Amino acid sequence: MAELTKTGMTRRALLGAFAATTVAAAPTFSQAAGFLRGGGDIRRIRMFSGRTGERIDMIYWIDGDYIKDAVKEINYFMRDWRTDQVKSIDLRTIDIMAASHNLLDVSEPYMMLSGYRSPQTNAMLRSRSRGVAKNSLHMRGQAADLRLSSRSVSQMANAAKACRAGGVGKYRGSNFVHMDCGVVRSWSG
Protein backbone atom coordinates (compact mmCIF):
# COMPACT_ATOMS: atom_id res chain seq x y z
CA MET A 1 0.00 0.00 0.00
CA ALA A 2 1.31 3.46 -0.86
CA GLU A 3 2.40 5.57 2.08
CA LEU A 4 0.78 9.01 2.16
CA THR A 5 2.76 12.11 3.11
CA LYS A 6 1.35 14.91 5.28
CA THR A 7 0.12 16.61 2.12
CA GLY A 8 -1.92 13.55 1.13
CA MET A 9 0.40 12.60 -1.75
CA THR A 10 1.94 9.17 -2.16
CA ARG A 11 5.73 8.90 -2.10
CA ARG A 12 5.64 7.95 -5.78
CA ALA A 13 3.54 10.99 -6.70
CA LEU A 14 5.86 13.23 -4.70
CA LEU A 15 8.92 11.80 -6.46
CA GLY A 16 7.20 12.24 -9.80
CA ALA A 17 6.42 15.87 -9.07
CA PHE A 18 10.00 16.46 -7.93
CA ALA A 19 11.39 14.77 -11.02
CA ALA A 20 9.13 16.69 -13.37
CA THR A 21 10.50 19.97 -12.05
CA THR A 22 14.15 18.90 -12.28
CA VAL A 23 14.30 17.10 -15.65
CA ALA A 24 15.25 20.35 -17.35
CA ALA A 25 18.29 20.65 -15.05
CA ALA A 26 19.83 17.34 -16.19
CA PRO A 27 23.30 17.63 -17.73
CA THR A 28 23.65 17.89 -21.48
CA PHE A 29 25.39 15.27 -23.62
CA SER A 30 28.66 17.23 -23.62
CA GLN A 31 28.71 17.40 -19.80
CA ALA A 32 27.93 13.74 -19.15
CA ALA A 33 30.64 11.16 -18.55
CA GLY A 34 31.08 7.41 -18.88
CA PHE A 35 28.62 5.07 -20.48
CA LEU A 36 25.66 7.04 -19.16
CA ARG A 37 26.18 10.03 -21.41
CA GLY A 38 22.92 11.88 -21.30
CA GLY A 39 21.83 9.96 -18.18
CA GLY A 40 21.92 13.08 -16.04
CA ASP A 41 20.96 13.35 -12.40
CA ILE A 42 17.69 11.66 -13.25
CA ARG A 43 17.31 8.43 -15.19
CA ARG A 44 14.04 7.65 -16.89
CA ILE A 45 12.82 4.75 -19.00
CA ARG A 46 9.84 4.88 -21.36
CA MET A 47 8.51 1.73 -23.00
CA PHE A 48 5.38 0.03 -24.18
CA SER A 49 4.63 -3.58 -24.93
CA GLY A 50 2.61 -4.47 -27.98
CA ARG A 51 2.10 -7.94 -26.49
CA THR A 52 0.47 -6.85 -23.22
CA GLY A 53 -0.66 -3.31 -24.10
CA GLU A 54 1.17 -2.03 -21.02
CA ARG A 55 3.11 1.21 -20.89
CA ILE A 56 5.74 2.46 -18.50
CA ASP A 57 7.19 5.94 -18.11
CA MET A 58 9.32 5.70 -15.03
CA ILE A 59 11.97 7.79 -13.32
CA TYR A 60 13.97 5.05 -11.63
CA TRP A 61 17.11 6.85 -10.44
CA ILE A 62 17.61 10.26 -8.83
CA ASP A 63 20.94 11.76 -7.76
CA GLY A 64 22.81 8.47 -7.43
CA ASP A 65 20.03 6.36 -5.94
CA TYR A 66 17.83 3.77 -7.61
CA ILE A 67 14.18 4.04 -6.61
CA LYS A 68 13.28 0.59 -5.33
CA ASP A 69 9.57 0.73 -6.19
CA ALA A 70 10.29 2.04 -9.69
CA VAL A 71 12.81 -0.73 -10.36
CA LYS A 72 10.26 -3.26 -9.13
CA GLU A 73 7.72 -1.93 -11.65
CA ILE A 74 10.30 -2.09 -14.45
CA ASN A 75 11.05 -5.72 -13.51
CA TYR A 76 7.35 -6.54 -13.74
CA PHE A 77 6.96 -4.70 -17.05
CA MET A 78 9.93 -6.58 -18.55
CA ARG A 79 8.66 -9.98 -17.37
CA ASP A 80 8.27 -12.99 -19.65
CA TRP A 81 4.77 -12.22 -20.90
CA ARG A 82 4.29 -15.80 -22.10
CA THR A 83 4.75 -17.35 -18.64
CA ASP A 84 4.16 -14.23 -16.49
CA GLN A 85 7.47 -14.93 -14.71
CA VAL A 86 9.28 -11.91 -13.28
CA LYS A 87 13.04 -11.65 -12.82
CA SER A 88 15.13 -8.77 -11.53
CA ILE A 89 16.46 -6.95 -14.56
CA ASP A 90 20.13 -6.07 -14.27
CA LEU A 91 20.29 -2.36 -13.51
CA ARG A 92 23.14 -1.97 -15.99
CA THR A 93 20.81 -3.04 -18.79
CA ILE A 94 18.18 -0.51 -17.74
CA ASP A 95 20.88 2.18 -17.59
CA ILE A 96 22.13 1.31 -21.08
CA MET A 97 18.60 1.45 -22.45
CA ALA A 98 17.92 4.81 -20.78
CA ALA A 99 21.25 6.36 -21.85
CA SER A 100 20.77 5.17 -25.44
CA HIS A 101 17.27 6.62 -25.50
CA ASN A 102 18.60 9.96 -24.24
CA LEU A 103 21.30 10.00 -26.90
CA LEU A 104 18.63 9.51 -29.57
CA ASP A 105 16.83 12.64 -28.33
CA VAL A 106 13.32 11.23 -28.84
CA SER A 107 10.19 11.42 -26.75
CA GLU A 108 8.76 8.25 -28.30
CA PRO A 109 8.88 5.30 -25.88
CA TYR A 110 10.70 2.14 -26.83
CA MET A 111 8.58 -0.73 -28.04
CA MET A 112 9.90 -3.64 -25.99
CA LEU A 113 9.80 -6.88 -27.93
CA SER A 114 11.61 -9.00 -25.36
CA GLY A 115 12.98 -8.44 -21.87
CA TYR A 116 13.31 -11.35 -19.46
CA ARG A 117 12.78 -14.79 -21.01
CA SER A 118 12.21 -17.89 -18.95
CA PRO A 119 14.27 -20.95 -19.96
CA GLN A 120 11.04 -22.48 -21.36
CA THR A 121 10.33 -19.45 -23.54
CA ASN A 122 13.93 -19.26 -24.72
CA ALA A 123 13.91 -22.96 -25.67
CA MET A 124 10.64 -22.52 -27.58
CA LEU A 125 11.99 -19.48 -29.47
CA ARG A 126 15.26 -21.28 -30.13
CA SER A 127 13.39 -24.19 -31.71
CA ARG A 128 11.80 -21.69 -34.15
CA SER A 129 14.81 -19.51 -34.96
CA ARG A 130 18.55 -19.91 -35.38
CA GLY A 131 19.04 -16.37 -34.03
CA VAL A 132 18.18 -17.24 -30.42
CA ALA A 133 21.18 -18.05 -28.23
CA LYS A 134 21.09 -21.18 -26.09
CA ASN A 135 22.45 -19.27 -23.10
CA SER A 136 20.74 -15.97 -23.90
CA LEU A 137 21.33 -13.05 -21.56
CA HIS A 138 17.56 -12.55 -21.69
CA MET A 139 17.30 -15.54 -19.32
CA ARG A 140 19.48 -13.69 -16.78
CA GLY A 141 17.50 -10.45 -17.03
CA GLN A 142 20.46 -8.80 -18.74
CA ALA A 143 19.07 -8.03 -22.20
CA ALA A 144 16.25 -6.33 -24.06
CA ASP A 145 15.11 -6.24 -27.69
CA LEU A 146 13.78 -2.79 -28.57
CA ARG A 147 12.32 -0.82 -31.46
CA LEU A 148 11.57 2.84 -32.21
CA SER A 149 9.46 3.86 -35.19
CA SER A 150 11.14 7.28 -35.38
CA ARG A 151 14.71 5.97 -35.51
CA SER A 152 16.43 3.39 -37.70
CA VAL A 153 18.01 0.22 -36.41
CA SER A 154 21.41 1.73 -37.26
CA GLN A 155 20.69 4.92 -35.31
CA MET A 156 19.55 2.93 -32.27
CA ALA A 157 22.53 0.59 -32.45
CA ASN A 158 24.97 3.49 -32.78
CA ALA A 159 23.50 5.13 -29.67
CA ALA A 160 23.79 1.87 -27.71
CA LYS A 161 27.35 1.31 -28.95
CA ALA A 162 28.29 4.84 -27.86
CA CYS A 163 27.63 3.71 -24.28
CA ARG A 164 30.47 1.16 -24.59
CA ALA A 165 28.84 -0.91 -21.89
CA GLY A 166 27.56 -4.17 -23.39
CA GLY A 167 26.41 -6.06 -26.43
CA VAL A 168 24.53 -4.46 -29.29
CA GLY A 169 22.85 -6.51 -32.01
CA LYS A 170 21.27 -4.99 -35.13
CA TYR A 171 18.38 -6.96 -36.59
CA ARG A 172 17.36 -4.96 -39.65
CA GLY A 173 15.07 -7.64 -41.07
CA SER A 174 13.01 -7.72 -37.86
CA ASN A 175 13.52 -4.00 -37.20
CA PHE A 176 14.90 -4.13 -33.65
CA VAL A 177 18.06 -3.66 -31.63
CA HIS A 178 19.28 -6.01 -28.91
CA MET A 179 20.96 -4.28 -25.93
CA ASP A 180 22.62 -6.14 -23.08
CA CYS A 181 25.06 -5.55 -20.23
CA GLY A 182 27.36 -8.42 -21.18
CA VAL A 183 30.74 -8.19 -22.86
CA VAL A 184 31.15 -5.15 -25.12
CA ARG A 185 30.59 -6.44 -28.67
CA SER A 186 28.35 -5.83 -31.67
CA TRP A 187 26.85 -7.92 -34.46
CA SER A 188 24.20 -7.95 -37.15
CA GLY A 189 21.55 -10.62 -37.31
Domains and CATH numbers, the chain: 11-188 (3.30.1380.10)
Q: What CA–CA distance (Å, rounded) separates 159 from 87?
A: 26
Residue 87 scores a pLDDT above 50 = yes
What's the full length of the chain, in residues? Answer: 189
> What CA–CA distance (Å, rounded) separates 143 from 93?
6
Residue 91 has pLDDT above 60, yes or no: yes
31-58 mean pLDDT: 77
pLDDT at residue 36, rounded to an integer:
52
Residue type, 188: S
pLDDT value of position 28: 33
Q: Where are the alpha helices (DSSP H) in 34-145?
A: 68-77, 91-104, 119-128
Share of the chain above pLDDT 90, in %: 70
- Kindly tell me if the per-residue pLDDT of 163 is higher than 80: yes
Q: Express each pLDDT in 23-39 by its tens digit.
A: 333 333 333 334 454 55
Give the long-range contacts of residues 166-172, CB within 8 A, separation 24 or more: 166/92, 166/93, 166/96, 167/137, 167/143, 171/131, 171/145
Spatial contact of 146 and 156, defined as CB atoms under 8 Å apart: yes
Res 30: pLDDT: 35
121-148 tens-digit pLDDT:
999 988 898 778 888 999 999 999 999 9
| Rounded to 5°, angle at Cα 94 from 146 and 129 | 35
8 phi-psi bin (left φ>0, alpha ψ -120 to 50, beta other): left
Find the helix or strand (DSSP H, E) in which 133 lies: none
Closest-CA residue to 87 (of 121, 117, 57, 67): 117
pLDDT tens for 100-125 read 999 999 999 999 999 999 999 999 98
